[in-house]
Structure 1
Amino acid sequence: MHKIISWAAVILWMALIFNLSAQVAAQSNQLSRGITAASVKTVEKVAPRAEFDIRSFNNILRKNAHFFAYLVLGVLVLNALRRSGAHGCRGFALALGICILYAISDEAHQLFVPYLSPAEVDKSGI
């Protein structure tokens, strides 16, 4: 049962990445600005005297969101493979391969998103 749940989590996370990658640049930017605004409010509550450039913070947030999405995918794939019997270096190599293939397919998918190409991901988010 844990094996099925683990692979379901992988598939759901891949679907989330796919959905976020299907957003046109304006939608993606609007989403990240909303997350940035919420983050800024939280930081201001914790450290009211903190000063930072919101535009730079938004850019950092967007770059890290892409890294975080694939980090979580890697952890989920490693867990699912471990529960399926792949351990050690073999499990790691398989997880790395799956994540790389998914990232390549995600870049190819973005070729079909209006007003977005794979090269523009750095400007628009995930």
Structure 2
Amino acid sequence: MQKIKKLLKFWLPPVLWAGLIFTFSSFPTVKTSEFFLGDFILKKTAHIIEYGVLATLLYRAMINSGVEKKKSMWLAVIIAVLYGITDEVHQSFTPGRGPAVRDVLIDTSGALIFIYGIVGNIKKTPVALQKIYNKFSFI
């Protein structure tokens, strides 16, 4: 029973997050606003955050499943990038949307920024932030 609870606690969040990404990708594109640059920046920032969070949740699940830290970091990025690729393929079946290599590169950037910029520097963060990380079992 304890094993199932641990599995759900750490692996359910990345699965649910991936499902959320899939759901958002299933919506047809809304007409671009008059403020194209602002719209573009908002959407690409969302990509960075979506895949950064996915990579972080994957890292959290792996590290708490006994996978070594460095390996967890790399695997989290690789899995997030592969998911980003499959998401772009999925978008090719959604009306008004299509796959874009640029989006995969932005997704990759998000995963790398979150994993190496945040998770990779946990020990260098202020004590208050370390306490938050500890509550979520990141280390």
TM-score normalized by the length of structure 2: 0.62
Report the counterpart of residue 109 of structure 1 in structure 2: 90
Count of residues paired in the alignment: 100
Report the counterpart of residue 13 of structure 2 in structure 1: 9
CA distance in 1: counterparts of 2:62 and 2:38, whole angstroms: 36
Report the counterpart of residue 64 of structure 1 in structure 2: 45
CA distance in 1: counterparts of 2:36 and 2:98, whole angstroms: 22
Q: Deviations over 1:35-61 (max 9, x none)?
A: xxxxxxxxxxxxxxxxxxx55333221
Identical aligned residues as a percent: 34
Q: Equivalent of 1:80, from 52, 58, 61?
A: 61
CA distance 1:57–1:111, shift in 2 (3 Å) = closer
Q: For 1:22-37, what aligned pairs fall within 5 Å after superposition? A: 22-26=26-30
Which stretches in structure 2 are left out of the alignment for 5+ residues? 108-139
Report the counterpart of residue 125 of structure 2 in structure 1: none
| 1:18 equivalenced with 2:22 (yes/no) | yes
After the TM superposition, list the runs of 4 or more consecutive aligned residues in structure 1 that deviate by more than 6 angstroms: none
Q: Equivalent of 1:99, from 73, 80, 84?
A: 80
Which stretches in structure 1 are left out of the alignment for 5+ residues? 34-53
- RMSD value, Cα: 2.6
TM-score normalized by the length of structure 1: 0.68
Larger radius of gyration: 1
CA distance in 1: counterparts of 2:43 and 2:51, whole angstroms: 13
Structure number with higher relative contact order (C-alpha < 8 Å, ≥ 6 residues apart): 1
